[in-house]
Amino acid sequence: VSDVMADLLDVAARTLVPGGHLVYVIPSMRDFDPNVDLPCHPCLRLVSVCYQPLQIQLGRRVVTMERSQDVQYDPQRREEYLSGAWVNGPESAEKCANIRDRLIEAARKKPGYEEKAAARREKRKATRREKKRVKREAREAAVNTGTASVG
């Protein structure tokens, strides 16, 4: 995720006309600080960040950035741009990259998690067994009526 975001900003900085906008959605936890945890680029200015909560801990942010009129993109500095995309380096990048792991970790701390997880696993197994049974019965019915395809 971190490399993709750094590349996205770099492509936008290279290809947008001055004053052009880049708008993207990024998942985030509540402890996300847009001033530090969003990727940045010297040729792009942060215009707005809108947070939409989806769950107690999880949400998404719609981020709008504008191509600077004052700063020119320098292809010679591309590696510098990419390496400096995250203000706090890996710490900021990980806040975006590890959301799934952080959600699972938070869920495991809730009371009754193991019981609910076991019930979900059993329900998935039962659904798979039922689908196989229906498929098998349909095959048998086709063979019995002589409508089975040769193959």
Q: State residue 138 phi and psi, 5-degree precision.
A: -65, -40
Residue 24 tokens, joined: 């993207």
Global confidence as pTM: 0.67
Q: State residue 64 phi and psi, 5-degree precision.
A: -120, 130
Q: What is the pLDDT of residues 49-71, one digit of tens each?
A: 999 999 888 899 999 999 999 99
**pLDDT at position 76, please?**
94
**pLDDT at position 147, please?**
64
How many CB atoms neighbour CB 135 within 10 A?
10
* Cβ–Cβ < 8 Å for 42, 9: no
- Of 125, 69, 63, nearest to 96 by C-alpha is 63
Q: How many residues does the chain have?
A: 151
Mean pLDDT of 11-20: 96
How does DSSP classify residue 22? E
